Amino acid sequence: MRNLSRRAALRGIGMIAAGTALAACTVTTSGNVTTITLNVAKITAYGQAGVNAAATIISLASGISALTPYLAAIEAAETALSTALTAFSTAAGSSVTISYDDTNWKTRVDSLLSDIESVSSTIAAAISGAGSALSSTVKSDATTAANALATVVSLFEALLGSTSAARLGMTEAQALKTLGVSR
């Protein structure tokens, strides 16, 4: 019976977090055209969360030989994400919302999501690859950052309608706070 209660609670958290993510956009349909309008601040916060997650793992990896083989990949993923985030932020300027259905914006947003996913999967691979060579503190801190970023990725995907926010380990607010992003 405990597992059922736990599952129900996690489902509830997922629905609350998905609702929070979806509140950041509007979806309108006119004829055969569906337009998704995205909140620029939310997209920027998600990108910054990815950059911060990578920086967290890089700082944890300092001096830990088990993580050394993964540093170059994490740094490369962070650089690509930082570049995409800068391009997005520069193009958005002071805009409050953008239309995801615009080809130019869709490309920028999809690139940002792809780079965040890359950071997330690279971090997960590092934690898994280093395994028991990590101290319990480092493993706990790295796993917390990885889980927070996985939540952000799930919310970002849900925001674009590509998935439901089913992989949530925490709320959006908790994930962003964990990764040092204030909104």
Q: For residue 122, what pLDDT is reported?
A: 96
pLDDT tens digits, one per residue of 26-57: 777 777 766 778 889 999 999 999 999 999 99
CB 100 within 8 A of CB 106: yes
**Stated pTM of the model:** 0.80
CB 21 within 8 A of CB 155: yes
Q: For residue 89, what pLDDT is reported?
A: 92
Q: In the predicted model, is pLDDT for residue 112 greater than 80?
A: yes
Distance of alpha carbon 114 from alpha carbon 30, whole angstroms: 29
- The pLDDT mean for the chain works out to 82
Q: For residue 25, what pLDDT is reported?
A: 66
Q: For residue 141, what pLDDT is reported?
A: 93
**Considering only 37-41, 71-75, 86-90, 144-148, which range has the smallest mean pLDDT?**
37-41
Reference 126, options 172, 173, 71, 84; nearest CA is 71
Confidence of residue 101 (pLDDT cuts 50, 70, 90): confident
Higher per-residue pLDDT: 120 or 25: 120
Strand partners of residue 25: 38
Q: In the predicted model, is pLDDT for residue 15 greater than 60?
A: no
Confidence of residue 16 (pLDDT cuts 50, 70, 90): very low
Higher per-residue pLDDT: 163 or 124: 124
Q: In the predicted model, is pLDDT for residue 147 greater than 70?
A: yes
Distance of alpha carbon 19 from alpha carbon 15, whole angstroms: 6
